[in-house]
Amino acid sequence: MIEVQNLSKCFQNGNECIWAIKNVSFHVNRGEIFGIIGLSGAGKSTLIRCLNRLEEPTEGKIIIDGVDMTALDKRELRSKRKEIAMIFQHFNLLSQKTAYENIALPLELTGLSKKEIDLRVNELLEYVGLKDKKNAYPSQLSGGQKQRVAIARALANNPKILLSDEATSALDPKTTKSILELLKRIRDELGLTIVMITHQIEVVKDICDRVAIMENGEIVEISTVEELFRRPKSKTAKAFISSLKSNVQEEFIISEEFKGKVVRLSFWGDNAKKPIVSQVIKKFNIDVNILSGNISQLMSTSAGHLIVELEGEDEKVQAAIDYLRSRDIEVEVI
């Protein structure tokens, strides 16, 4: 659906060139939710803005649906952009227009009749769950509601692709979840391909299929989300994932205070659903005391972290640890 080849972007600063994106290549499949995560200043926004040429790429090619974006003239680009919607961190709603008028705007520009516009806007308001906020101005809406209006507006012309630049970064965790659910629904029901820029690993975890990690203008790692959580390769990816792992409870576990061995178990996919702990208890005749844990639902799989105390004879405990490791569970002694 989207094919990016050797994309580079330099911002001219006097005679100097600041390379915000360096030789980036990746592809996004149709119907996929593709995440791009990186720290501030990594070049994420620049990259996503190159996709619809809000930012002109300096080098490289962007092929969307078989069309080379970089070869389009202004007019062709404008018509192509109607297929590529965009949502923003700060919503970018027109402050002087109501929710209804905001959603109607792209339709007006396309030249639909009043009646057609009315039908479509009401349908969209319904879809994003804001029927009762039809006549509210952005200043009267909460952040989550504003983003819903922006999403409805983005969907107005039936785009094929949705570009999201930090669409949830200005929202609280609960609202973020609900917006992510809406985006997922859009992908599932309307078949859109979504490119999500974010610096929140939770976003990647919750809805992305695959993810690219950006560091200093380069993509250092591309993998499925499951693979990323299982075996992060780059420093940035590891940092992001450990930020997610570090549970508050964990901080309070001081292993010296326990008689047995305190270990952290990390497991993915099917393992998360198997009764491994009870198997260990039965098999090795040791006590397992659960101290803290969490299981997160990733896109297509689950990932869990469990901190347990293993009590029993040393060799039995060691055998249990080996057994767990043999079952593809990461065991870390704390």
Ligand X SMILES: Nc1ncnc2c1ncn2[C@@H]1O[C@H](COP(=O)(O)OP(=O)(O)OP(=O)(O)O)[C@@H](O)[C@H]1O
> Encoding tokens for residue 19?
């390379």
**Quick check: 45 binds ligand X (CB under 6 A)?**
yes
State the pairing for strand pair 33-38/210-215: parallel
Q: Which is nearer to Mg ion, 43 or 312 (CB)?
A: 43
3-class DSSP string for 125-158: HHHCCCHHHCCCCHHHCCHHHHHHHHHHHHHCCC
Site string for ligand X, 160-199 (x = CB under 6 A): ---------------------------------------x
> Encoding tokens for residue 319?
């055998």
Q: Among residues 194, 130, 117, which one has the least CA distance to residue 159?
A: 194
Question: Which value, to the nearest 10 degrees, does the dihedral of the CA atoms of residues 86, 87, 93, 97 take?
Answer: 60
Of these partners, ligand X, Mg ion, another protein, none, which one is at the site of residue 281 (CB under 5 to 8 Å by kind)? none
Q: Give CA separation, 42 vs 229, 233, 243, in Å.
A: 21, 17, 18
Q: Which is nearer to ligand X, 125 or 219 (CB)?
A: 219
Total binding residues for ligand X by CB under 6 A? 12
Q: Which is nearer to another protein, 94 or 119 (CB)?
A: 94
Task: Give me the residues that bind another protein (CB under 8 A), please.
Answer: 52, 54, 77-82, 84-86, 88, 90-97, 105-106, 108-109, 137-139, 157, 163
Q: Which is nearer to Mg ion, 20 or 103 (CB)?
A: 20
Residue of the chain from 46, 98, 236, 266 that contacts ligand X (CB under 6 A): 46
* Binding to ligand X in span 14-43, by CB under 6 A: 18, 20, 38, 40-43
Q: Among residues 196, 121, 203, which one has the least CA distance to residue 157?
A: 121
Residue of the chain from 28, 34, 44, 144 that contacts ligand X (CB under 6 A): 44
